[in-house]
Structure 1
């Protein structure tokens, strides 16, 4: 899976991972996620790694009984294990998150027995929802929050809800609505600011 990081930082810098997009090309969701990830990189000097739609399309449907995992599944899980923070972006499909994003999150069951950090325990998680209309953005954000809570993560206070009927993204990393860009940057900044606090809490708990 290709690294989409665009910011030059130290090779040993903490890692923020983005998960989001749709199958069939670069989407508004993926472009929104890229803006938030770049903001996290600028705020905290973090490395960033994005698993977009094309990456998630290579993940097979999650089978909890499988005894082996594909190289793409292994890389995805190992990257999440190394992360200090996460940003999840999903389109709103029929009032909730997309199947491809849910399938990727289901794969985190592989971390259930990890000693240092099962699931997303104590990890700050930023949330983004895009939909063609406002109604699905709210329900998609709510679904993402519920999933992150179930995975023991900490959703950041602010989540970005984007109406793609009104906001258009461009290939240069911008959007037609400056306020939307600022909202996405806020998601990235909050994730970056909370990541060191989460690490301190984890050290106290495990130390």
Structure 2
């Protein structure tokens, strides 16, 4: 099977202003999905910074908005990673997810219907990781997706990521890989559920 024919896992996450711990965590999870036979596409902080603020009344979309929505439409699974800002998800991640309103009337799959969605939260301290995961779960439910059973909560005050794709705590790497493996495991079930 050619790489372009492999099922797709899309990652959404990061922060504006350089590669963050959130993006590095997301990359580990996407690499785990790749090891399970999926191709991946990540929309990191730099990608999300190019998305204008979502305007539901806009009659046209930018090329970046169209690419984002079309890529999510092709996905078999999603992984969303957000930093915890003031106890919830970041504005750039929320803006990207708001853009998925463009899929509301899709006949094949409105929103994220029946799609497995892995969740990752990073924060400088434990409190915001839990509330950020809870916010992400609520959003995924509102978009008709299926949050995977395990979500990774990472305290970036304690755990440090490196440029080689690792982290100072091997248990955190394993948790992130579990997120990637779970979306890969559940993606075929979602495809079966979507078949009439």
- TM-score w.r.t. length of structure 1: 0.90
Where does structure 1 lack aligned partners over 5 or more consecutive residues?
A: 1-10, 199-204
Structure 1 runs (4+) greater than 2 angstroms displaced: none
Residue aligning to 1:165:
157
CA shift digits 1:157-189 (9 cap, x unpaired): 000000000000000000000000000000000
Post-superposition offset of 1:12: 4.8
Find the aligned partners of 1:114 and 1:12 in 2 and give their Cα distance: 26
For 1:155, what is the secondary structure of its paired residue?
strand
CA shift digits 1:72-114 (9 cap, x unpaired): 0000000000000000000000000000000000000000000
Find the aligned partners of 2:3 and 2:171 in 1 and give their Cα distance: 33
Question: Does 2:145 match 1:156?
Answer: no
CA contact (8 A) 1:33 1:89 kept: yes
Post-superposition offset of 1:206: 4.7
Residues 58-207 of structure 1: matches in 2 within 5 Å?
58-198=50-190, 206-207=195-196
Find the aligned partners of 1:206 and 1:126 in 2 and give their Cα distance: 22
Find the aligned partners of 2:174 and 2:41 in 1 and give their Cα distance: 21
Post-superposition offset of 1:33: 0.1
Residue aligning to 1:35:
28
Find the aligned partners of 1:76 and 1:66 in 2 and give their Cα distance: 16
Find the aligned partners of 2:118 and 2:188 in 1 and give their Cα distance: 15
CA shift digits 1:29-72 (9 cap, x unpaired): 000000000001xx421000000000000000000000000000
Find the aligned partners of 2:74 and 2:36 in 1 and give their Cα distance: 16
Find the aligned partners of 1:65 and 1:12 in 2 and give their Cα distance: 37
CA contact (8 A) 1:116 1:206 kept: no
Find the aligned partners of 2:163 and 2:189 in 1 and give their Cα distance: 34
Find the aligned partners of 1:206 and 1:191 in 2 and give their Cα distance: 18
User: Over the residues paired in the alignment, what is the CA RMSD in angstroms?
Assistant: 0.9
For 1:86, what is the secondary structure of its paired residue?
strand
Find the aligned partners of 1:191 and 1:78 in 2 and give their Cα distance: 20
For 2:54, what is the secondary structure of its paired residue?
coil
For 2:117, what is the secondary structure of its paired residue?
strand
